[in-house]
């Protein structure tokens, strides 16, 4: 990399075009995630959370699948421990993303390492969508743009969407409207990227079968924790 | 679940979720895990999301129950297969479930 007097060379016209494309894709993704957040807000309230609780969860947990999972167990009458367990297991993938993302995001455009404070802030945004947007960029500069624009755009729409959805949910008769079907539909919609490999399909099938088979015999919500045995299909390459 | 248990759950889950993100990103960043562990952790969403679909479609508390939700989820499955947007998948499931309930 050749350094000019201001650190890295100024972006070329081609890079500027690429940059606009990345920003536009990140903002579009944010809008889509905002709509998902609407359904989270609705579902959380129908599961028994208050509007305020749904919003605090979205702000501080900020990882959709875990939030849906926790509220699904709460709605089913499960214990806080069972609700926590499943949600925490789903959050483990953000740890894995963090390992891969650190090298891409921990330096600025001049190659300097970000301060600890900024890295701690960035960590909050290491989730599915930011990882997908960041790791598919062709240059480090574009990767950083993708990360921060996606992070900001998602954080705004996720929290705003949760608020609006939760407010709407608190005004509606959620049982009569079939809201209990919102949870399984949401999980189903999140599933396809994980079914691309044979191991993924076997893990999913095992998880579903184990969960239903165990449900009558264990406390509410505990079956999904045992269902995680499906991951053992990853033991062999 | 009581209101205070729900607040505890929210607090603990938020701390854990952030802790996992920061542990990977800030502390362990750049290191590689053993491939076996990486593969198994990568399968958590497949196993858990499928278990959650099954739980929310076929169970009520500790009972296995077939009801209107199954119709809703079946319709959602078609929507997912046709690559419909997330909100469409959720809405068609809700509408189908409510319709089956209204008819039954």
* Interface test with chain B among A166, A185, A203, by most B beta carbons within 10 Å: A185
pLDDT of residue B40: 92
Range name among A16-20, A109-113, A193-197, B53-57 with the lowest pLDDT average: A109-113
- Segment B38-47, tens digit of pLDDT: 899 999 999 9
Chain-centroid distance, C-alpha A58: 10
pLDDT of residue A172: 84
- Pair of tokens at residue A12: 């070329």
Query: Do both A184 and A206 map to the same domain?
Result: no
Look at chain A and report how many structural domains it folds into.
2
Residue A2 lies in a domain: no
CA distance B13 to chain A (A): 6
**Is residue A1 predicted with pLDDT exceeding 50?**
no
Distance from C-alpha of A170 to C-alpha of A47, rounded to nearest angstrom: 11
Instruction: Using alpha carbons, select from A186, A175, A185 the residue that is nearest to residue B102.
Output: A175
Confidence of residue A157 (pLDDT cuts 50, 70, 90): very high
Residue B98 lies in a domain: yes
Confidence of residue A109 (pLDDT cuts 50, 70, 90): confident
Higher pLDDT, A224 or A3: A224
CA distance A13 to chain B (A): 32
- Segment A113-146, tens digit of pLDDT: 889 999 999 999 999 999 989 988 888 899 999 9
The reply to whether A216 touches chain B by the CB within 8 Å rule is: yes
Whether residue A184 and residue B97 make contact (CB cut-off 8 A), yes or no, is no
Query: Do both A141 and A100 map to the same domain?
Result: yes
Confidence of residue B86 (pLDDT cuts 50, 70, 90): confident
Q: Does an H or E element contain B59, and which?
A: strand B59-60
pLDDT of residue A174: 67
pTM here? 0.87
Residue of B nearest to A233 (CA): B40
Residue B103 lies in a domain: yes
**Is residue B84 predicted with pLDDT exceeding 90?**
yes
pLDDT of residue A81: 94
Query: Do both A128 and A40 map to the same domain?
Result: yes
**Is residue A7 predicted with pLDDT exceeding 60?**
no
pLDDT of residue B10: 98
Whether residue B50 and residue A227 make contact (CB cut-off 8 A), yes or no, is yes
The reply to whether A133 touches chain B by the CB within 8 Å rule is: no
Query: Do both A156 and A201 map to the same domain?
Result: no
Q: Which residues of A touch B62 (CB under 8 A)?
A: 215-220
**What does residue A196 show for φ and ψ, rounded to 5 degrees?**
-70, -30
Distance from C-alpha of A224 to C-alpha of B47, rounded to nearest angstrom: 9
Residues 63-102 of A with CB under 8 A from B: 63, 65-66, 68-70, 72, 74, 76-80, 83-84, 86-99, 101-102
pLDDT of residue A12: 79
Query: Do both A154 and A39 map to the same domain?
Result: yes
Confidence of residue A8 (pLDDT cuts 50, 70, 90): low
Whether residue B76 and residue A60 make contact (CB cut-off 8 A), yes or no, is no
Hey, CA dihedral for A198, A204, A205, A210, is it positive or negative?
A: positive
Instruction: Using alpha carbons, select from A223, A199, A219 the residue that is nearest to residue A211.
Output: A223
Instruction: For residue B99, give its domain range.
Output: 66-104
In the A/B pair of chains, how many CB contacts fall below 8 A?
341
Residue A200 lies in a domain: yes
- Segment A73-95, tens digit of pLDDT: 999 999 999 999 999 999 999 99
Residue B104 lies in a domain: yes
Query: Do both A229 and A212 map to the same domain?
Result: yes
Instruction: For residue A215, give its domain range.
Output: 194-237
Residue A155 lies in a domain: yes
Residue A1 lies in a domain: no
Q: Which residues of B touch A55 (CB under 8 A)?
A: none
Residue A138 lies in a domain: yes
Residue A6 lies in a domain: no
Q: Does an H or E element contain A55, and which?
A: helix A51-60
- Give the total residue count for chain B: 104
Residues 3-42 of A with CB under 8 A from B: 32, 35-36, 38-39
Confidence of residue B68 (pLDDT cuts 50, 70, 90): very high
pLDDT, averaged across chain B:
92
Residue A181 lies in a domain: yes
Look at chain B and report how many structural domains it folds into.
1
Query: Do both A40 and A137 map to the same domain?
Result: yes
Distance from C-alpha of B100 to C-alpha of B70, rounded to nearest angstrom: 10
**Is residue B23 predicted with pLDDT exceeding 60?**
yes
**Is residue A195 predicted with pLDDT exceeding 70?**
yes
* Interface test with chain A among B8, B11, B13, B88, by most A beta carbons within 10 Å: B13
Q: Residue A62 in contact with residue A155, Cβ under 8 Å? A: yes
């Amino acid at each position: 990399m050749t350094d000019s007097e201001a650190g890295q060379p100024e972006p070329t016209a081609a890079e500027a075009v690429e940059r606009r494309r990345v920003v536009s894709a990140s903002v579009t993704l944010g809008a889509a995630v905002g709509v998902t957040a609407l359904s989270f807000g609705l579902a959380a309230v129908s599961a028994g959370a208050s509007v305020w609780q749904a919003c605090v969860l979205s702000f501080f947990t900020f990882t959709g699948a875990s939030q849906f999972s926790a509220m699904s167990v709460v709605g089913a009458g499960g214990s806080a421990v069972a609700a926590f367990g499943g949600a925490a297991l789903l959050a483990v993938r953000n740890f894995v993303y963090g390992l891969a993302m650190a090298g891409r995001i921990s330096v600025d455009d001049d190659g300097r390492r970000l301060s600890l404070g900024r890295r701690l802030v960035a960590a909050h945004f290491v989730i599915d969508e930011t990882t997908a947007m960041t790791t598919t960029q062709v240059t480090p500069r574009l990767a950083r743009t993708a990360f921060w624009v996606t992070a900001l755009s998602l954080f705004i729409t996720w929290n705003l969407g949760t608020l609006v959805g939760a407010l709407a949910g608190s005004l509606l008769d959620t049982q009569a409207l079939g809201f209990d079907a919102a949870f399984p539909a949401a999980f189903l919609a999140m599933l396809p990227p994980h079914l691309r490999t044979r191991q993924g399909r076997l893990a999913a099938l095992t998880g579903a079968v184990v969960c239903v088979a165990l449900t009558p015999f264990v406390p509410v919500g505990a079956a999904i924790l045992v269902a995680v045995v499906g991951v053992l299909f990853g033991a062999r390459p | 679940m009581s209101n205070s248990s729900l607040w505890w759950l929210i607090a603990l889950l938020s701390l854990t979720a952030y802790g996992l993100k920061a542990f990977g990103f800030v502390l362990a960043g750049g290191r590689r895990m053993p491939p076996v562990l990486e593969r198994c952790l990568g399968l958590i969403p497949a196993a858990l999301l499928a278990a959650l679909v099954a739980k929310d479609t076929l169970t009520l508390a500790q009972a296995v129950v077939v009801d209107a939700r199954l119709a809703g989820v079946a319709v959602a499955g078609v929507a997912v297969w046709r690559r419909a947007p997330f909100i469409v998948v959720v809405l068609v499931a809700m509408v189908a479930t409510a319709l089956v309930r209204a008819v039954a």
